[in-house]
């Protein structure tokens, strides 16, 4: 049997783990050692930033059913997600962080190769 997880619950956990998100998203340095997103770095991981990250990740899950399945998501609504019994919030956050880390690494690589 599945259950409902409200996005507000996920956002609270994201804020509790803000250091992990800041390390991946805001503390990135370019090839010269300069912080890439200085304004975001100074601002810190706000609830608005957390909501944006969650919306982006859930949008990705809507498009990639395999990712949603791996996360234990069965349905995504405006304010909640339905999950199966295998869902673990900590694993969900880890998958989100991995996706953003991969995207950031790709962006740095493309910049260093002058692609884009």
Taking the mean position of all CA atoms in its chain, how far away is CA 115? Answer: 24
pLDDT at residue 102, as a whole number = 87
How many distinct structural domains can be found in the chain?
Answer: 1
Strand blocks (E) in 7-95: 73-76, 80-83
Q: Which domain holds residue 104?
A: 3-112
Residue-wise pLDDT for 21-49, tens only, equals 888 877 777 677 777 666 666 777 899 98
State the average pLDDT for the chain. 85
pTM: 0.82
Residue-wise pLDDT for 68-90, tens only, equals 999 999 999 999 999 999 999 99
81 neighbors 59 (Cβ within 8 angstroms): no
Q: At 107, is the secondary structure helix, strand, or coil?
A: helix
pLDDT at residue 89, as a whole number = 95
13 neighbors 53 (Cβ within 8 angstroms): no
Q: At 101, is the secondary structure helix, strand, or coil?
A: helix
Q: At 27, is the secondary structure helix, strand, or coil?
A: coil
Say yes or no to pLDDT of 16 above 70: yes
Report how far residue 58's alpha carbon sits from residue 20's, in angstroms, rounded to the nearest whole number: 18
Report how far residue 59's alpha carbon sits from residue 78's, in angstroms, rounded to the nearest whole number: 11
Say yes or no to pLDDT of 116 above 60: no
């Amino acid at each position: 049997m599945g259950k409902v997880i409200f996005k507000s619950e996920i956002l609270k956990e994201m804020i509790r783990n803000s250091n992990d998100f800041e390390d991946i998203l805001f503390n990135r340095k370019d090839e010269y050692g300069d912080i890439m997103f200085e304004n975001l770095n100074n601002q810190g991981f706000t609830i608005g930033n957390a909501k944006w990250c969650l919306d982006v990740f859930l949008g990705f899950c809507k498009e990639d059913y395999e990712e949603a399945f791996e996360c234990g998501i069965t349905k995504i609504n405006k304010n909640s997600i339905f999950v199966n019994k295998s869902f673990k919030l900590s694993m969900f956050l880890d998958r989100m962080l991995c996706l953003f880390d991969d995207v950031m690494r790709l962006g740095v690589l493309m910049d260093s190769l002058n692609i884009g």
